Each structure stands twice: as structure tokens, then as C-alpha cells.
């Protein structure tokens, strides 16, 4: 993508990997994609294009996942080689924890709400 | 282990006593591990947001007979807000490209533009919050609103500190120029700034757009 990074005195800079910052082209591709991936979900929801709320919800979640990947690649310059693969390892570990936290909380709390004793409005008003 | 003897001189110090640590530190250039360390900080920050998203996911439907997302959210305003953050991301990218070419003036200019977009984002968000509170939709109103204000407010707080950091770095670059340490700091802020944009993708999808579908 770009030539190897050099410091002002001509030594190879050990901290900066080649192409670590991306190039004008990759930033513009990333920006174009994210504008598209932002505009479409807003359009789907505001225009009520798909009709069904459930379908729309699934589709916009798909768009969000794709857009996050686009940002990771084009703006955060994630790849499997950065820092000897440890950045990617930390990211994968975090993603696993995020998925467990999110899906676990929603799942458990949904069932908790579902199995609660039914309570009438009158009972609710008697609550302390 | 005391009577273990070894003939390998690498494990003995000058007096012939055994050594249980590396005799010489491997050479680490200054700041060589900063980027990985900062990445791990961002990942831990990501976990904070995961917890807040989970809280919102659980409590997002508990309106306590108060106003729900459909009554409160103004999607065109959120779209403008999203555009501000997205534009600030690309202008920070331009600042990094200028930094790579050692152009101090261009770097400062793009950093300033990024800061202004960030400030615009914050102003719109504060306007939205003020509007909600004025309508009585305060964080105390319902669990949904508590979770909403905590999640979106934490993101806004991150953007605020990002702007403080950005101004600090502009002063640093102005005084010392694009030295190696400043470049490293700018790269850290770059990751922080783009990371906040990634979190915002989750916020506008999960909170605002999904909220309108409830």
C-alpha cells in the first residue's frame, strides 16, 4: 500500500509497520462504504421500507456488523499481522466476552421476566 | 533447587551463583509496546460498553408507563449526529496521512477540523439531552431512560475526553513538532477516535433505530 516507514534520519522505524496508517485510497473506500452502510439502515427505518419490524431489525443489525468490520479494517487498520497477531488475539477474546455478556444477559433476563408471577395493575399499586 | 548445579554459564552470574532471571533485558525501543498496550485498553473499554449495551438491552423495554423511544427519539437529528462523527473520523484519517508526510500545518488543520466535528456532535447530543429532560424524560423517569442516558452519556463523555486529548496534542505538536513521541500519541488518539465511531455504530443501530421499531 505504501513504502516502508522511515524516520527523518533514514533508519527503519521499528514501531511503524509498512502501511500501518493506510492510504488516501483506503480511507476513502472506508468512508464511502460507511456512508452507504449508515444511510441504508436509516432509510429502511425512516421510510418503513420493509414493512415488518422484525425483518428490518435483523437487516439493520446485519448492516451494523458489516460497518463495524469496515471501520476495523479501513480506519483501525486491523489485520492478523499487527503486533505479531496479538492485537487480533485481544480482539477475538474481547468479541467472545462481548457476545457472552450481551446474549447471556438478554437470554437470562428475558426468561426471568417471562417466568415472573403475573401482577395486576392493582397489585402493582400496592407495591412498597 | 539449591544444590542443582549447571555447567551452562548463561545461568550463572559472575560469582558462579545460579541466576533465575534474564541476565540482560532484550532491547526494546522506546514506545515499542505502546500501540499494543493501547489496543488492550480499548478492548477493556469495549467491555465497559458491552455491559452498558447489555443493561440497555435488558431494561430498554421497561418504560414504567413513561415515554418510549418512539415518543422521544428524533431520527433526522440522530442522522445528522452520526454524519458529524463519521466526518470527524475521515478528517482524522486525513490528519494521519498528513502526519506521515511530516506536514505539520496540514496535520494541525485536519486535527482542528476533527475537533470541530467532534464538538458539533457533542453540542447536538447535549441539545437532545436537554430537550428530553425538558420534556420530563429524565434519567429518573424509567429504567429505559436510566439505561439510555448511561449508555449514550458514557459515549459522549468519551468523545469529550477525546476532544480534550486532541487539543492537548495540537498544543504538543505546535510546541515540539512531529517528533516520534508525538506521532505515537497521535496514533493512539487515532485508534481511540475511530473506536468511538465503532461504538456509535452500535448506539445508533441498537438504541435509536431498533428503538423506533419496538
> If you measure CA to CA, which chain B residue comes closest to A34?
B86
Q: Do A46 and B55 touch (CB under 8 A)?
A: no
Assembly ipTM: 0.84
Alpha-carbon distance B203 to nearest alpha carbon in chain A (angstroms): 10
* pLDDT at site A83: 81
* pLDDT at site A117: 67
Q: Which of the four pLDDT bands, split at 50, 70 and 90, describes residue B20?
A: confident
Q: B-chain residues within 8 Å CB-CB of A8?
A: 102
| Residue A99 reports pLDDT greater than 50 | yes
- A71 → closest Cβ in B35, B75, B197: B197
Alpha-carbon distance A19 to nearest alpha carbon in chain B (angstroms): 10
pTM of the predicted protein model = 0.84
Q: Do B97 and A23 touch (CB under 8 A)?
A: yes
> If you measure CA to CA, which chain A residue comes closest to B46?
A94
Q: Do B57 and A102 touch (CB under 8 A)?
A: yes
Average pLDDT of the segment spanning B210-214 = 90
Q: How many CB pairs under 8 A join A and B?
A: 128
Q: Which of the four pLDDT bands, split at 50, 70 and 90, describes residue B10?
A: low
Q: Which of the four pLDDT bands, split at 50, 70 and 90, describes residue B18?
A: confident
Q: Do A63 and B46 touch (CB under 8 A)?
A: no
* pLDDT at site A2: 41
3-state per-residue secondary structure call for chain A:
CCCCCECCCCCECCCCCCCCCCCHHHHHHHHHHHHHHHHHHHHHHHCCCCCCHHHHHHHHHHHHHHHHHHHHHHCCCCCCCHHHHHHHHHHHHHHHHHHHHHHHHHHHHHHHHHCCCCCCHHHHHCCC
| Residue A16 reports pLDDT greater than 80 | no
Name which of A81-85, A92-96, B162-166 the model is least confident about: A81-85
* pLDDT at site B21: 76
Q: Do A87 and B36 touch (CB under 8 A)?
A: yes
Alpha-carbon distance A61 to nearest alpha carbon in chain B (angstroms): 7
| Residue A1 reports pLDDT greater than 80 | no
Amino acid at each position: 500500500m505504501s513504502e516502508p516507514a522511515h524516520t527523518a534520519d533514514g533508519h527503519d522505524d521499528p514501531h511503524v509497520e509498512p502501511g500501518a496508517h493506510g492510504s488516501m485510497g483506503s480511507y476513502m473506500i472506508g468512508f464511502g462504504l460507511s456512508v452507504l452502510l449508515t444511510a441504508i439502515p436509516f432509510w429502511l427505518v425512516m421510510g418503513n421500507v420493509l414493512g415488518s419490524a422484525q425483518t428490518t431489525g435483523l437487516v439493520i443489525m446485519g448492516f451494523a456488523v458489516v460497518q463495524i468490520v469496515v471501520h476495523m479494517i479501513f480506519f483501525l487498520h486491523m489485520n492478523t499481522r499487527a503486533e505479531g497477531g496479538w492485537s487480533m488475539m485481544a480482539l477475538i477474546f474481547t468479541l467472545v466476552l462481548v457476545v457472552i455478556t450481551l446474549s447471556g444477559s438478554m437470554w437470562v433476563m428475558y426468561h426471568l421476566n417471562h417466568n415472573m408471577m403475573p401482577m395486576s395493575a392493582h397489585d402493582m399499586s400496592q407495591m412498597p | 533447587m539449591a544444590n542443582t548445579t549447571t555447567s551452562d554459564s548463561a545461568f550463572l552470574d559472575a560469582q558462579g551463583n545460579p541466576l533465575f532471571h534474564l541476565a540482560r533485558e532484550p532491547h526494546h525501543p522506546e514506545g515499542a509496546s505502546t500501540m499494543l498496550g493501547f489496543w488492550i485498553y480499548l478492548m477493556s473499554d469495549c467491555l465497559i460498553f458491552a455491559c452498558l449495551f447489555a443493561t440497555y438491552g435488558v431494561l430498554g423495554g421497561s418504560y414504567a408507563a413513561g415515554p418510549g423511544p418512539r415518543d422521544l427519539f428524533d431520527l433526522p437529528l440522530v442522522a445528522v449526529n452520526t454524519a458529524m462523527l463519521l466526518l470527524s473520523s475521515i478528517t482524522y484519517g486525513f490528519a494521519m496521512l498528513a502526519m506521515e508526510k511530516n506536514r505539520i500545518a496540514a496535520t494541525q488543520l485536519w486535527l482542528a477540523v476533527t475537533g470541530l466535528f467532534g464538538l458539533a456532535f457533542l453540542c447536538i447530543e447535549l441539545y437532545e439531552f436537554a430537550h428530553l429532560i425538558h420534556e420530563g424524560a429524565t434519567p429518573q423517569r424509567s429504567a429505559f431512560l436510566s439505561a439510555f442516558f448511561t449508555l449514550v452519556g458514557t459515549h459522549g463523555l468519551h468523545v469529550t475526553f477525546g476532544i480534550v486529548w486532541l487539543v492537548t496534542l495540537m498544543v504538543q505538536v505546535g510546541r515540539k513538532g512531529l517528533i516520534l513521541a508525538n506521532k505515537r500519541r497521535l496514533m493512539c488518539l487515532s485508534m481511540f477516535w475511530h473506536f468511538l465511531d465503532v461504538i456509535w455504530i452500535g448506539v445508533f443501530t441498537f438504541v435509536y433505530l431498533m428503538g423506533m421499531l419496538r
